Amino acid sequence: MQDHLPISVTRVAHSRIGEVDFNHLPFGVEFTDHIFTADYKNGSWHDFRIEPLKPLSVHPGNMAWHYGQAIFEGMKAVLNPQGEPLLFRPDKHIERLNNSALRMSMPPFPKEFFIQGLKMFVELEKHWIPKGEDSALYLRPLMIATDTHVGVRPSQTYKLIVMALPVGPYYSKPLNVLVQTKYIRAVEGGVGYAKTAGNYGAAMYPTRLAKEKGYDQIVWMEPKEFRYVQEAGTMNIFFRLKDRIVTPMLTGAILPGITRDSIIHVLRDMGHTVIEQKVDINELLAAYKRGELIEAFGSGTAAMVANIYNMRFEDFDMRFDESNWELSLELKRAITNIRNGKTEDKWGWTMSTTGALEAVVASNIQ
Ligand SMILES: Cc1ncc(COP(=O)(O)O)c(C=O)c1O
- Do 342 and 315 touch, CB atoms closer than 8 A? no
Is residue 263 in contact with ligand 1, taking CB distance under 6 Å?
A: no
Which amino acid residue places its CA nearest to atom 15 of ligand 1? 234
Is residue 186 in contact with ligand 1, taking CB distance under 6 Å?
A: no
- The residues that bridge with 336 in the sheet, in sequence order, are none
Q: Which of 5-14, 263-272, 355-364 is least confident?
A: 355-364
Is residue 71 in contact with ligand 1, taking CB distance under 6 Å?
A: no
Cα 28 from Cα 88, distance rounded (Å): 19
Ligand 1 atom nearest to 235, measured from its CA: 4
Query: Which 3-state string (H, E, C) describes the chain?
Result: CCCCCCCEECCCCCCCHHHCCCCCCCCCCCCCCEEEEEEEECCEEEEEEEEECCCCCCCCCEHHHHHCCEEECCEEEEECCCCCEEEECHHHHHHHHHHHHHHCCCCCCCHHHHHHHHHHHHHHCHHHCCCCCCCEEEEEEEEEECCECCCCCCCCCEEEEEEEEEECCCCCCCEEEEECCCCCCCCCCCCCCCCEHHHHHHHHHHHHHHHHCCCCEEEEECCCCCCEEEEECCEEEEEEECCCEEEECCCCCCCCCHHHHHHHHHHHHCCCCEEEECCEHHHHHHHHHCCCEEEEEEEECCCEEEEEEEEEECCEEEECCHHHCHHHHHHHHHHHHHHCCCCCCCCCCEEECCCHHHHHHCCCEC
Which amino acid residue places its CA nearest to atom 12 of ligand 1? 234
Query: Which residue, 280, 299, 329, is CA-closest to 234?
Result: 299
Q: State mean pLDDT over 6-16.
A: 97
At residue 247 the predicted structure's pLDDT band, cuts being 50, 70 and 90, is very high
Ligand 1 atom nearest to 231, measured from its CA: 3
How high is the pLDDT of residue 170? 78
Q: Which of 48-62, 69-83, 163-177, 294-308 is least confident?
A: 163-177
At residue 359 the predicted structure's pLDDT band, cuts being 50, 70 and 90, is low
Q: State mean pLDDT over 252-258.
A: 98
How high is the pLDDT of residue 169? 81
Cα 207 from Cα 219, distance rounded (Å): 10
Cα 37 from Cα 53, distance rounded (Å): 10
CA atoms within 13 A on the CB side of 6: 4
How high is the pLDDT of residue 365? 53
Tens-place pLDDT, residues 199-217: 999 999 999 999 999 999 9
Instruction: Count the neighbouring beta carbons within 10 Å of the beta carbon of residue 83.
Output: 10
- Do 85 and 126 touch, CB atoms closer than 8 A? yes
Tens-place pLDDT, residues 57-91: 999 999 999 999 999 999 999 999 999 999 999 99
Is residue 255 in contact with ligand 1, taking CB distance under 6 Å?
A: yes
* φ/ψ (deg, to 5) at 57: -100, 115
Ligand 1 atom nearest to 301, measured from its CA: 11
Q: State mean pLDDT over 34-40.
A: 98
How high is the pLDDT of residue 2? 46
Contacts of 289 (CB under 8 A, 6+ apart): none
- Which of 92, 204, 255, 261 maximizes ligand 1 atoms within 8 Å of its Cβ, making it the mutation to test the pocket? 255
| Position 10 pLDDT exceeds 80 | yes
| Position 242 pLDDT exceeds 90 | yes
- Do 159 and 146 touch, CB atoms closer than 8 A? yes
Centre of ligand 1 to C-alpha 197, Å, is: 13
At residue 1 the predicted structure's pLDDT band, cuts being 50, 70 and 90, is very low
| Position 273 pLDDT exceeds 60 | yes
How high is the pLDDT of residue 215? 98
| Position 361 pLDDT exceeds 60 | no
At residue 346 the predicted structure's pLDDT band, cuts being 50, 70 and 90, is very high
Is residue 257 in contact with ligand 1, taking CB distance under 6 Å?
A: yes
Which amino acid residue places its CA nearest to atom 2 of ligand 1? 234
pLDDT, the chain, mean: 95
CA triplet 192, 194, 199: central angle to 5 degrees? 55
More confident residue, 134 or 52: 52
Query: Which residue, 129, 135, 218, is CA-closest to 175?
Result: 218
Is residue 207 in contact with ligand 1, taking CB distance under 6 Å?
A: no
Q: Which domains does the chain have, with CATH numbers?
A: 8-169+345-361 (3.30.470.10), 175-324 (3.20.10.10)
At residue 14 the predicted structure's pLDDT band, cuts being 50, 70 and 90, is very high
| Position 172 pLDDT exceeds 80 | no
Sort 271 into a burial class: Cβ within 10 Å, 0-12 / 13-18 / 19+: exposed
Cα 151 from Cα 74, distance rounded (Å): 30
| Position 362 pLDDT exceeds 80 | no
CA triplet 274, 275, 277: central angle to 5 degrees? 155
Cα 333 from Cα 246, distance rounded (Å): 20
Tens-place pLDDT, residues 97-108: 999 999 999 999
Is residue 147 in contact with ligand 1, taking CB distance under 6 Å?
A: no
How high is the pLDDT of residue 133? 78
With b meaning 16 or more CB within 10 Å and e meaning fewer, what string describes 229-258? bbbbbbbbbbbbbeeebbbbebbebbbbbb
